[in-house]
Amino acid sequence: MNLCFRYYIECSRQEWQAAVLAIAGSTRVHSWDYINYMSKHSPQIRNLSFLVYDIKVPLAVVSLGLYMPKMPPPGVSFSFAGSPCGMPAFANMSQATLRKVGRRVFQMLDSIAETEGVTHSFFTVPPTTGNDAEQGHIGCKNLFYPSRFGYLAEVQNSTVWELQTTEAEIFCTISKYQRKHIRQSEKAGLRIVAFSGTDAAAEIIEGKIEELRLLHLRVAGRKTREDATWQAMCSACVNGVATLFISYRGKTPVSYLFCGEYGPTAYGWTQVNVPEYESELSPRHHLEWQAALHYKARDFIFYEIGTVPYEPLPSGPPSKKEISIGLFKERYGAPLYPHVFWRKFYDLALQEQYLKSYQKNLRDFIWPECR
């Protein structure tokens, strides 16, 4: 076996995407456009993502950001400004071959960490992989393999629609509360328009993404991300691997939903309602449902609605807003699947701080009377 490494910055978008889609264990966080988006979150991020080949056969992919904040602690990390990188994903291979390739890949990460002074790393594995799409169902093949190399797992639930069943079957699983709001939106005459590079001009998409950016700014009351991230989202939409859904009442937009696409999997990326119409119309219920039907009509297999936080993480318990959003997602009735987050520490003090914080948050969650 003659392994060689090729970095993201050396690849064209076409080459990267072709290789990643050929790797069965790859997920949306390994796609060219998603990495491009995550890399734009801070000027202090160096994109070190790479592919592993055996001559010309792609065997593995790693989505890797080296974050060097101006103001430590906690110091240099493998992350995209605190957001997770994509855990190494592997092609279908024997377990013996996986041990050889996996060892090289994780040794590569440790070597970069030592050279760059990395103190900790943060990775993720979303619920659906390329292999799941090929099989038509979600599995857990080698899901916890990284634990062999000193990574600590955090598992959250993520709700995923399986779009191969009928529309009626999917609709029946939705809660009465959610169905009521969907029907109310239909009676109010809300209509959904989808904008994507497959059927809309780049200039139109750019204008709609700018609408979304300005609405986010107005609702948040502050700038929440770098302007370059919006440009990366626009690029993904123009490239035909993302779709912007807008709900209109007449000619007036009332809600926006931006979705990413990877293979036959779609996933919610960002969403915002126009405040003036939110309480009156509750448009998101209808918008999310129509987006799922849109992808079902395009023969997508999965639609990831998003994580549903129950338990606390080391950083603390989920906020009231996070719990509310999670409840909203869960009411769609889609099955829950594991979304795994991984951490590895190269600094003993940081690891002890992490474990102590996790233990305290779990204690407070399970035995709140002991706070």
* Class of the domain covering 165-300: alpha beta
Q: What is the bridge-based pairing of β-strands 152-162 and 302-308?
A: antiparallel
Count CA within 13 A, CB hemisphere, residue 319.
4
Q: What is the pLDDT of residue 367?
A: 81
* Dihedral (CA of 100, 103, 108, 109) sign: positive
| Among 199-208, 274-283, 312-321, 329-338, the least confident range | 312-321
Average pLDDT, the chain: 93
Q: What is the pLDDT of residue 323?
A: 86
Q: What is the pLDDT of residue 371?
A: 62
Per-residue pLDDT tens over the stretch 286-295: 999 999 999 9
Comparing CA positions, the residue from 295, 211, 313, 301 lying closest to residue 259 is 295
| Radius of gyration, alpha carbons of the chain | 21
The domains spanning 3-156+339-370 and 165-300 adopt the same CATH topology: yes
Q: What is the pLDDT of residue 279?
A: 84
Q: What 3-state class would DSSP assign to 285?
A: helix
Domain ranges of the chain: 3-156+339-370, 165-300
Q: What is the pLDDT of residue 370?
A: 67
Residues facing 20 on adjacent strands: none
The DSSP secondary-structure symbol of 248 reads: E
The yes-or-no verdict on residue 169 having pLDDT over 70 is: yes
84-115 burial: b if 16+ Cβ within 10 Å, else e: bbbbbbbbebeeeebeebbeebbebbbebbee
Q: What's the longest Cα–Cα distance across the chain?
A: 62
For the chain, the first-to-last Cα distance in angstroms comes to 55
Quote the crossing angle between the two packed helices 283-297 and 176-187, to the nearest 10°.
Answer: 90
**Pairwise CA distance, residues 76 & 116, whole Å:** 8
The yes-or-no verdict on residue 270 having pLDDT over 90 is: yes
Query: Are 305 and 111 spatial neighbours (Cβ–Cβ below 8 Å)?
Result: no
Comparing CA positions, the residue from 117, 131, 119, 123 lying closest to residue 105 is 123
The DSSP secondary-structure symbol of 9 reads: G
Comparing CA positions, the residue from 331, 257, 336 lying closest to residue 294 is 257
* Dihedral (CA of 234, 237, 242, 243) sign: positive
Pick the CATH number of 3-156+339-370 from 3.40.50.300, 3.40.630.30, 3.40.50.2000, 2.60.40.10: 3.40.630.30
72 pLDDT band (50/70/90 cuts)? low
Quote the crossing angle between the two packed helices 202-220 and 227-238, to the nearest 10°.
Answer: 140
* CA 41 to chain CA mean position, Å: 14
**Pairwise CA distance, residues 7 & 28, whole Å:** 18
E strand segments, the chain: 3-7, 45-47, 50-54, 57-63, 65-67, 77-78, 85-90, 120-125, 152-162, 191-195, 242-249, 252-262, 265-273, 302-308, 336-345
Comparing CA positions, the residue from 82, 110, 81, 86 lying closest to residue 32 is 86
Percentage of residues of the chain with pLDDT beyond 70? 99
**Pairwise CA distance, residues 114 & 225, whole Å:** 30
Angle at 72 between CA 67 and CA 74, to 5 degrees: 75
Q: What is the bridge-based pairing of β-strands 265-273 and 45-47?
A: unpaired
* Dihedral (CA of 187, 273, 311, 106) sign: positive
Q: What is the pLDDT of residue 280?
A: 87
pTM of the model: 0.94
Per-residue pLDDT tens over the stretch 13-57: 999 999 999 999 999 999 999 999 999 999 999 999 999 999 999
Q: Which residue's entry shows tokens 């592993």?
A: 52
Q: What is the mean pLDDT of residues 297-311?
A: 91
Backbone φ, ψ for residue 55 (5° rounding):
60, -100
